[in-house]
Structure 1
Amino acid sequence: MNTKNITDWGVFWVLFMVAEFSMLASLPYAVSVSGDVVAQFGSSLPMVLATQFARGTVFLIISIVVGLFLGRKVGLKAPVLESLFEARGLPAGFSSSVKLSLLLGVLVGTTIFVVDRGIFSMFTEPLTIFLSSPPLWQRFLYSFYVGIVEELILRFFLVTFLVWITWKIKKTSEGLPTTTGIWLSIMLASILYGLGYVSSLSSSIELNMVFASGIMILNVMAGSVFGWLYWKRGLEAAILANVTSMLTILVILGSLFQP
């Protein structure tokens, strides 16, 4: 087995195990916000959670494998983990990437919270009130689940896959994906996730057109930031920014501004 394969397997197992632990840690939060909805359909909560966990595990395996395989072709990667497994230490620019990710995560989280409480509240119950209703420790753990799993599925898998498609269609003179192709991939992944998120929320809270449109816009905004970080700084930077944004929304601002 060559060095590249060893690195890929190392990165795979780290990402997979971290994501699996984050899914387990998020289960108490899932019970808090979804238990009543599941009961209305007469389903067994443990069975629903087990099914969702198994489905999530399959998605994660596919996402990580595709991200590693196709990402190598189009220049999208997890540079920190790859560098560590190749015994090269932390990559150049690691410190600046951490600072940038933290800053952008706080800005994204604050923007979403302010828009939700300041604008959405004129039309319906703010979403952040519903999301911040579980206990603090559950919100803390759930923030890591969202940041890790979202980035693995949306950026490492979906954006990488879409970029690979655009790369097959058109390359730069250096054989790399075009900037237009990358941005189209980032935006499309954000839109698809926004549509899915709105659909999933409709089973828990009442949505109207203005609220649903606002959620879509905020998802595209956040997805663009995280997608840009993935493109320019790597998967770890996108994960850190996403986790920071969720901690800002659910833990910090969600605790300071409870109704």
Structure 2
Amino acid sequence: MFKNPRLRLGVALWLAGMAGVAAISFAVIPLLLLSAPEQVPAGLAIAASLLQSGALLALAVWVGVALSKPLGLGSPVFEAFVLGRNCTDPLRRQLLPALLVGLLVAALLVYLNGAAPPEIQSLGTQFQIPLVAKVLYGGITEEILMRWGLMTLLIWLPWRFLQQRSGPPLTAFIVFGIVTAALLFAAGHLPAVVAMGGGLSAPVVAYVMLGNTLPGILFGVLYWRLSLEAAMLAHATAHLVSVAVLQSAFNT
């Protein structure tokens, strides 16, 4: 349908990300509407969420497609897919480190779950988000937004205007992009806490920031050193394993 490989890559990434947007919208918005002060049709709210998130996702996809390659960043599995090439070779090289990071993040999430403030524990009981929505949105959509889009832009800006596009980006610029994107990734979860009816006490803010910044840094390193798909796989693995462990502990 699209002859331009970069356009095909962008469409493929956008469609993959929209799967997560749809999953989280259909899972979360009906729950949020239960406590809304005014009645809003669920279909209208979901449609608005899909449009808004779809536009933001398209912007992130465009940034990554336009700016990632000169920085040495990439999405080799999606690129191979849209070009009709073998996807397993680039995926195989990333599998082990991505799984190891995913397990490390899962262990962190399980540990932090035991230290969660009472407000967070209460919200977790009230808002049971399906695992498939967590995996699709966290593992695919968030990585496209925060790594492919935001982190790429944060590295490109100093590389373009301070380094004048001379050679590969300095490590300092890469670290800046990784850490800043991770901090913004964590801060982006705070409005969700408020939307679910929670308060932003100091323990809640510290918990949310710590529990999302550290994983965000690890996912950013994977994106830098390996690929976008490695970050996606690690993020999805972290959700799968942490939920499995916590459910197993709850049932025993």
Q: Sort the Cα spacing of 1:125 and 1:164 in 2 relative to 1 into closer, same or farther, 3 A.
A: same
- Kept in 1: contact 2:26–2:46 (CA 8 A): no
Residue 11 (structure 1) aligned with residue 4 (structure 2): no
Amino acid at match of 1:246: H
Question: Structure 2: how far apart are the matches of 1:255 and 1:208?
Answer: 27
Partner of 1:257: 249
Distance 1:167 1:91 in 2: 32
| Aligned residue-pair number | 249
CA-based RMSD of the aligned residues comes to 2.7
Mapped partners of 1:128, 1:87: distance in 2: 47
Distance in 1 between the 2:23 and 2:177 partners?
30
Partner of 2:208: 215
Q: Does 1:65 align with 2:62?
A: yes
In the alignment, is residue 83 of structure 1 matched against residue 80 of structure 2? yes
Distance change (3 Å), C-alpha of 1:128 and 1:186: farther
CA distance in 1, matches of 2:132, 2:122: 14
- The correspondence for 2:238, drawn from 230, 237, 245, is 245
Pairing 1:236–2:233 present: no
- SS of match in other structure, 1:202: helix
Question: What is the Cα deviation at residue 67 of structure 1?
Answer: 0.4
Q: Tell whether 2:92 aligns with 1:109.
A: no
Question: Percent identity of the aligned residues?
Answer: 23
- Matching residue of 1:177: 169
Shift of 1:220: 1.3
Residue of 124, 135, 147 corresponding to 1:130: 124
**1:45 aligned partner:** 42
In the TM superposition, residue 63 of structure 1 has moved relative to its aligned partner by: 0.9
* Residue 54 to residue 102, structure 1, CA distance change in 2 (3 Å): same
Residue 200 and residue 25 in structure 1: after superposition, are their counterparts in 2 closer, same or farther (change >3 A)? closer
From the superposition, tell whether residues 224 and 172 of structure 1 become closer, same or farther in structure 2 (CA, over 3 Å).
Answer: farther
TM norm structure 1: 0.84
1:176 maps to amino acid: P
**Secondary structure of the corresponding residue to residue 257 of structure 1:** helix
Kindly provide the CA deviation profile for residues 10-35 of structure 1, in whole angstroms up to 9, marking residues without a partner as x.
21122122222232233342146423
Amino acid in structure 1 at the alignment position of 2:134 = Y
Code of the residue aligned with 2:157 in structure 1: it is: I
Letter in 2 for 1:130: G
Q: Deviations over 1:54-104 (max 9, x none)?
A: 001101111111100011222211122223444553486632411211221
> Judging changes above 3 Å, is the alpha-carbon distance between structure 1 residues 32 and 109 closer, same or farther for their aligned structure 2 residues?
farther
Distance 2:75 2:46 in 1: 30
Residue 240 of structure 1: how far off its partner (Å): 0.9
TM-score, scaled relative to structure 2: 0.87
Q: Which residue of 2 aligns with 1:200?
A: 192
Partner SS, residue 176 of structure 1: coil
Runs of 4+ in 1 over 6 A off after TM superposition: none
Q: 1:85 to 1:210 in 2, by over 3 A?
A: same
Structure 2 residue aligned with 1:34, among 22, 32, 35?
32
Deviation (angstroms), 1:158? 0.4
Contact 2:178 2:220 in 1 (8 A): yes
Cα distance in 2 for residues equivalent to 1:90 and 1:174: 32
Unaligned stretches of 5+ residues in structure 1: none
